[in-house]
C-alpha cells in the first residue's frame, strides 16, 4: 500500500494548541463503519452511543516529564535531552540535541543547580543515545522538579504549567509514557461517572506510549515502515472483563489506538476466542512485554468492536491503523468532513468514535 494514499490536507489553524476548558465539551464525529454515515455530536453524548454492558478499555499509562533542558558542564552550550525509555536503574535511551556536538562522556547540567545531571553515553543509531541520570535523590523527584511535559512537535509553543495536568489522563497510574494516550484526554471524572451510571463497564491496560507515535511514515510503502517497541501489560482483571463482555455479546470499545494495539498483540499470540481467555487451557500466553505490532490493511481485528480515537497526522501509523479498522476511503471522507466542519485536530483536539 502506497504511503501517499494516507495523506490529506489540513489547514494549520485546525491543529489544537490548547485543550478545551472542560474536557468532555469537545466535539465527537461518529462514523458508522457499515455504511460510512456520519453523525456530529459532543463527546459528553458518548453514553448514548453505547449500550449497557459494553466494555470500555482505557490505557492507564502516565506521562513522565521526559524533556530535559540543560547546558554542557564544560562549555555552557544549550542541550536538550528527551528521555525515550528506561533501560535499567538510572540508565535510559534518549534523544540528545544537538547530537553532533554531544560526545560520549559529556555531562549536561539540568536546572543549573547540580540537582540533576545527565551523563551522555554511547550512540545507538537513529539519533539515540544511552544516558545516565545523576541525582542525589530519586529520579522521579528530580524529573518532577526539572523535567518538562513532552508536548508533541505540532503544538507550536513551549510547555506551560497547566500542561502537566492537561496532557495527562485523569486515570493515569503507571509512569512510563513519553506521549499521552490522547483519546483518554477527553474523559473527566464527571464523564467516567456518567458511563458507570449508564452501565458501561470499564477495564484498564497499560501501554507506555513512545515518541514514535508522532513519526510520519517516510517510506514509499506502508509495509516498509517499522514501529518502535513499546512496553505493555494486560492484567488478569482486564482479561476476565474482556472475556465476560465477549461471552455476553457486548461490545469492546478501545479508548485509543494504544489500547487497540495492546489487545491485538495479545490476540495475535493466541488464537482462542476472547471468551475463552479465562480458561486456563486457553489463557493467552503473552499478556505483557514489548510490542511493535503495526496494524495496516488488510487486518482482521480479533478483540475490539469499536474505537474512540483522536484525529491523526497524515501519513502516520495511527491513521493507517484507524483505516484498517473502518476502511481508508471512509476514514479519509470523515476527515474531510471534519476539516469542513472546523473540528480541532490532534492531541488537544476533538475526537472520533468508530462503531
List, for residues 23-40, the tens digit of each pLDDT value: 999 999 999 999 999 999
Contact 312, 319 (CB under 8 A): yes
Element at 71 (helix H, strand E)? strand 67-72
* pLDDT per residue as tens digits for the range 113-151: 778 999 999 888 778 999 999 998 899 999 999 999 999
Q: Is 287's pLDDT higher than 80?
A: yes
In terms of residues, how long is the chain? Answer: 355
* pLDDT per residue as tens digits for the range 74-106: 888 999 999 999 998 899 999 999 877 778 889
Q: Is 168's pLDDT higher than 80?
A: yes
Task: Give the whole-angstrom CA distance, residue 152 versus residue 211.
Answer: 8
pLDDT of residue 198: 98
Task: Give the whole-angstrom CA distance, residue 87 versus residue 196.
Answer: 38
pTM above 0.85, yes or no: yes
Nearest by Cα to 16 from 353, 346, 338 = 346
pLDDT of residue 101: 72
pLDDT of residue 83: 96
pLDDT of residue 75: 86
pLDDT of residue 216: 87
The β-bridge relationship of strands 174-177 and 61-63 is parallel
Residue 127: alpha-carbon gap to chain centroid = 22
* Interval 199-207 mean pLDDT: 98
Q: Is 276's pLDDT higher than 90?
A: no
At residue 145, φ and ψ (nearest 5 deg) are -85, -40
Q: Does domain 67-146 have CATH number 2.40.10.240?
A: yes
Name the superfamily (CATH) of residues 3-63+166-354: QueA-like (3.40.1780.10)
pLDDT, greater one: 238 or 212: 238
* pLDDT per residue as tens digits for the range 182-192: 999 999 999 99
Q: Which long-range contacts (CB under 8 A, 24 or more apart) does 119-126 make?
A: 120/96, 121/91, 124/93
Q: Residue 107, Cβ neighbours under 10 Å: how many?
A: 15
Each domain of the chain, given as residue ranges in start order, spans: 3-63+166-354, 67-146
Q: Given this chain, do its domains 3-63+166-354 and 67-146 carry the same CATH topology?
A: no
Contact 339, 11 (CB under 8 A): yes
Q: Is 207's pLDDT higher than 90?
A: yes
Residues contacting 264, CB < 8 A, separation 6+: 293, 295, 301, 302, 303, 304
% of the chain at pLDDT higher than 90: 82
Q: Is 280's pLDDT higher than 90?
A: no
Q: Find the largest Cα–Cα distance for the chain.
A: 65
Amino acid at each position: 500500500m502506497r504511503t501517499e494514499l494516507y495523506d490529506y490536507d489540513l489547514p494549520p489553524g485546525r491543529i489544537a494548541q490548547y485543550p478545551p476548558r472542560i474536557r468532555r465539551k469537545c466535539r465527537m464525529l461518529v462514523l458508522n463503519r457499515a455504511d460510512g454515515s456520519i453523525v456530529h455530536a459532543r463527546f459528553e453524548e458518548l453514553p448514548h452511543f453505547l449500550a449497557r454492558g459494553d466494555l470500555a478499555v482505557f490505557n492507564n499509562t502516565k506521562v513522565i516529564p521526559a524533556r530535559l533542558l540543560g547546558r554542557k558542564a564544560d562549555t555552557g552550550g544549550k542541550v536538550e535531552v528527551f528521555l525515550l525509555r528506561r533501560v535499567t536503574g538510572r540508565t535510559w535511551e534518549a534523544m540528545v540535541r544537538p547530537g553532533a556536538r554531544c560526545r560520549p562522556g559529556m555531562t549536561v547540567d539540568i536546572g543549573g543547580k547540580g540537582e540533576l545531571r545527565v551523563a551522555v553515553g554511547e550512540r545507538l543509531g537513529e539519533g539515540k543515545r544511552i544516558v545516565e541520570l545523576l541525582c542525589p535523590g530519586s529520579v522521579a523527584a528530580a524529573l518532577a522538579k526539572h523535567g518538562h511535559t513532552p508536548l508533541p512537535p505540532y503544538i507550536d509553543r513551549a510547555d506551560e504549567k497547566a500542561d502537566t495536568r492537561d496532557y495527562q489522563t485523569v486515570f493515569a497510574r503507571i509512569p512510563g509514557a513519553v506521549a499521552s494516550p490522547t483519546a483518554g484526554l477527553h474523559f473527566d471524572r464527571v464523564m467516567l461517572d456518567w458511563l458507570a451510571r449508564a452501565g458501561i463497564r470499564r477495564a484498564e491496560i497499560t501501554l507506555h506510549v513512545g515518541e514514535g507515535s508522532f513519526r510520519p511514515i517516510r517510506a514509499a510503502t506502508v509495509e516498509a515502515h517499522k514501529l518502535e517497541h513499546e512496553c505493555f501489560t494486560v492484567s488478569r482483571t482486564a482479561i476476565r472483563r474482556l472475556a465476560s463482555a465477549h461471552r455476553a455479546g457486548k461490545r469492546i470499545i478501545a479508548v485509543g489506538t494504544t489500547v487497540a494495539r495492546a489487545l491485538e498483540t495479545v490476540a495475535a499470540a493466541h488464537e482462542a476466542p476472547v471468551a475463552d481467555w479465562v480458561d486456563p487451557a486457553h489463557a493467552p500466553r503473552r499478556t505483557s512485554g514489548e510490542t511493535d505490532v503495526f496494524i495496516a490493511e488488510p487486518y482482521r481485528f480479533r478483540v475490539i468492536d469499536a474505537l474512540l480515537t483522536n484525529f491523526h497526522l497524515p501519513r502516520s501509523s495511527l491513521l493507517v491503523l484507524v483505516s484498517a479498522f473502518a476502511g481508508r476511503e471512509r476514514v479519509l471522507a470523515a476527515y474531510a468532513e471534519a476539516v469542513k466542519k472546523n473540528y480541532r485536530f490532534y492531541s488537544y483536539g476533538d475526537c472520533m468514535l468508530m462503531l
